[in-house]
Amino acid sequence: MIFQVLAAFLGTAAFSAVIEAPKKYLSYCGFIGAVGWLVYLINTESFGNVMANFLGSMAVSLISHIFARFFRVPVTIFLIPGILPLVPGAYLYKAVYQYFLGTNEIASWYLLLTIQIAGGTALAIFIMDSIFEVLKKKNVSGV
């Protein structure tokens, strides 16, 4: 598991460089990706894939918002790299691959899983954005 979390850190940080995240925040981006993946791993067994992904995305959005407030930079800078490990790219590939093999049932199942996970991630980002928006409106003088 530690190995996986380390890989998440490295992968997220490396990808952050590809999308030109500011140099000084590279390690923070990696950190967010690693935490998101850790939360995902912890919850996979008890809650299943989709729910674990949702919880992981919640963690990623929460930390991104906190970091953004703290460093006074747009949330996007942490959110886009951090969410990447949780984007269901692998399932999408598997769905297509199964279609090519001709096993349509498995393919549809993977496709459904992709949509569910993407929806869960979207919901998590929605929720966190809304919470922080409410908080921001409460103390307009701040931020």
CB of 38 to another protein, least distance (A): 11
Q: With respect to another protein, which residue has the nearer C-beta, 10 or 135?
A: 10
Residues that bind another protein (CB under 8 A): 3-4, 7-8, 10-12, 14-23, 37, 72-74, 76-77, 79-81, 83-85, 87, 89-90, 92-97, 99-100, 118, 121-122, 125-126, 129-130
How far apart are alpha carbons 83 and 137 in whole angstroms?
Answer: 25
Among residues 8, 25, 5, the alpha carbon closest in space to that of 84 is found at 8
Contacts of residue 27, Cβ cutoff 8 Å, sequence gap at least 6: 13
CB of 88 to another protein, least distance (A): 9
Q: With respect to another protein, which residue has the nearer C-beta, 9 or 138?
A: 9
137-143: long-range contacts, CB 8 A cutoff, minimum separation 24? 143/69
